[in-house]
Structure 1
Amino acid sequence: MKRLLMRKRTVVFLLVPALGLIFVFLILPGAWVIKIGMTNETLTGLKARNPDFVGFENYVMVLSDRFFYNALRITFLFVLGSAIIGQASLGLVLALLTYKKSKKLKSFVQSVVILAWIIPEVVVAYIWIAFLDKDYGTLNSFLSFLGLRKLNWFYEHPLFTIIVFNIWRGTAYSMLLFSAALETIPPSYIETADVIGSSGWRKFKDVILPNIRSYLLTDLILITLWTFNVFTPYLLTGGGPAFKTELLSIYIYRTAFRYFKLGYGASIATIALIVNLILAMFYLSLSSRKEKI
């Protein structure tokens, strides 16, 4: 009994620093944002010093703001194309292609993919601007060499451009997670499937997928939330042209720090937080259903 009590105290003692950091860097800022969202505080002027409490007035204005719905729609399309369809699928494909391959080949592929993940965001943005530049970009030079028309990617296909950019940028995490998940599958499962002559699709469907399902849901939760809140595309397009790439994070930034409506921007951020919680609960409900099955 004493040992059990000591173990519980040890666990609590070890959790205190982590919980303290969560409280200081997550809970307190979140509470501050909710508080500011109920005021008409601005970054400049009289209301910066003495803001008024307006209750839910900001939220009512947000829910009738067409720019908010435009940013929300673009963000969901961006998350769907970049995270769910792009990063998760490509990460899984790369993990499967390097599964049971030589360590040198696997290490090389992982190193190349991780390189795109660890390069600073500003550097990555300038690389892609140089790659996609209309007149002198590498891609358009290659298209011109093939006799094809040069494209102004940031103007003609802005949303597609930032989706591809974010897939290239963030696939490394999904690949590493799925590679680790594949290593947890007992080799006898794959060997048995090979002995009975199962096709590659049957091995994936009946052996691999059931064993990595929990990892798949974990990956989808994390990359969905990360992508929903990503700000890096701003370095490529600034939210343009004509707000066609204005993600919710960019809209919050523009409202709070370019138009100086801090209270209004905080109310949008609070709504974004609620959307994040809804997405997380959705994935967790899927996970609990799979466990029951």
Structure 2
Amino acid sequence: MTQTTSTSVGGATAPRRRRADDVAGLGTARAGVFVAPALIIIGVFLLFPALWTIWLGMTDYRLTGVQAASPKFVGLDNFIHALTDQAFWNSLSLTLVFVIGSGIIGQMVIGFAIAWLVRNIKAWAKGLIEVLVLAAWVIPSSVGAFLWLAMFDRRNGTVNELLGTQGYAWLINHPMESIILFNIWVGTAFSMQLFSSAIGAVPPSQIESARMVGASTWQQLRDVIIPNIKGHILTNTLLITLWTFNTFTPYLVTAGGPNGKTEILSVYIYKTAIPGGQLGLGAAISLLMLLINLVIALGYMRVSREKSRS
């Protein structure tokens, strides 16, 4: 039971607010003041662009012509057009090949291999390898793309000079393989750093116990390392998949060519919306891309929850 304290003012009795109520009210007001800027930022930079993209995807808005001046509402026509267009499905299939080849298989496997191989070498050698790998990750995308264009140049490129295949056009004859290798080179550093930290956190006693019973390197990986870093593997897989799925960097190397052979989904959206001028259709495709991202994220979250329960 609560007690109320009253004071007499001019013969009238008025309840006195408790100190706790005052503090609670003041705390709520202050919380509102501090939260308001964050809500404004979220609304301006996240909510408004999302709503504007949804509206844009339901119009026939174009960069030029009548539709630029007075776009019309077309409902779901853009989404239906995208889903029934063979070019969209071809771009999606190329994106899946690119994600699996350069992200899940390339960056994760190579990143883990580097992290595993350098764990016991001398500090200076380990630091040198990590710096070389990180350099590809931190340099500007335009610089990295220029380096790879110079390497694959058909006249005086580094690759042709090393292999003695002067005049061979790698970016024309093997465009998808080229951008897969490029993206592996760019993004492997993240997986290497994450797996290095994860492997370093595995209790040394478990690894030593496995060695004492005669476990091979593969058995140590299978029975000790991987079970201890399953959470890191899942997190890395999710991040690498989303980053690779949404990356636009390969456009700097091949511009989606030749003949659309490297036109992954992000490049396809760009070509549709900017050079093609169909902003409404491009916005609709970008929303489909967002839905695919959400499905991927929800799928990984579900797997993560099931693993945590087991």
**Is this a same-fold pair by TM over 0.5?**
yes
| Residues 1:56 and 2:73 are matched in the alignment | no
| 103 and 19 in structure 1: CA distance in 2 versus 1, 3 angstrom threshold | farther
1:91 match: secondary structure? helix
Pairs within 5 Å for 1:139-218: 139-144=159-164, 151-218=168-235
Q: Output one character per residue of 1:254-284: Cα deviation in whole Å (capped at 9) or x when no partner.
A: 0110011100100000000001111111111
Q: Output one character per residue of 1:225-262: Cα deviation in whole Å (capped at 9) or x when no partner.
A: 01101111111111011100001101100011001110
Pairs within 5 Å for 1:225-236: 225-236=242-253
1:150 CA drift (Å): 5.1
| Residues 1:66 and 2:86 are matched in the alignment | yes
* Matched length: 286
Give the gaps of 5 or more residues in structure 2: 1-19
**Contact 2:60/2:281, CA 8 A, preserved across alignment:** yes
Letter in 1 for 2:58: M
1:102 CA drift (Å): 2.6
Tell me the equivalent position of 1:221: 238
Letter in 1 for 2:72: D
1:258 match: secondary structure? coil
Tell me the equivalent position of 2:3: none
Match among 276, 281, 285 for residue 268 of structure 1 = 285
Q: Output one character per residue of 1:147-173: Cα deviation in whole Å (capped at 9) or x when no partner.
A: x57531111111011001100110000
| 197 and 20 in structure 1: CA distance in 2 versus 1, 3 angstrom threshold | farther
**Contact 2:156/2:166, CA 8 A, preserved across alignment:** no
Tell me the equivalent position of 1:28: 48
**Contact 1:190/1:207, CA 8 A, preserved across alignment:** yes
- Say which structure is richer in helix: 1
| 33 and 100 in structure 1: CA distance in 2 versus 1, 3 angstrom threshold | same
1:11 CA drift (Å): 9.7
Tell me the equivalent position of 1:290: 307
| 49 and 18 in structure 1: CA distance in 2 versus 1, 3 angstrom threshold | same
Tell me the equivalent position of 2:138: 118
1:45 CA drift (Å): 2.1
Q: Structure 1: how far apart are the matches of 2:237 and 2:40? A: 27
Tell me the equivalent position of 1:136: 156
Q: Output one character per residue of 1:124-160: Cα deviation in whole Å (capped at 9) or x when no partner.
A: 111100101112101101111xxx5753111111101
Q: Output one character per residue of 1:71-127: Cα deviation in whole Å (capped at 9) or x when no partner.
A: 111001000101000001000001101113332222111110000001111111111
Q: Structure 1: how far apart are the matches of 2:94 and 2:37? A: 38
Q: Structure 1: how far apart are the matches of 2:68 and 2:196? A: 50
Q: If you compute each CA radius of gyration, which structure gives the higher value, 1 or 2?
A: 2
Structure with bigger RCO (C-alpha 8 Å, 6+ apart): 1
Q: Structure 2: how far apart are the matches of 1:12 and 1:133? A: 58
Match among 75, 79, 86 for residue 95 of structure 2 = 75
When the two chains are superposed, the root-mean-square deviation of aligned CA atoms in Å is 2.3
| 269 and 140 in structure 1: CA distance in 2 versus 1, 3 angstrom threshold | same
Q: Structure 1: how far apart are the matches of 2:201 and 2:31? A: 27
The percentage of aligned residue pairs carrying the same residue is 45
Normalized against structure 1, the TM-score is what? Answer: 0.91
| 12 and 138 in structure 1: CA distance in 2 versus 1, 3 angstrom threshold | farther
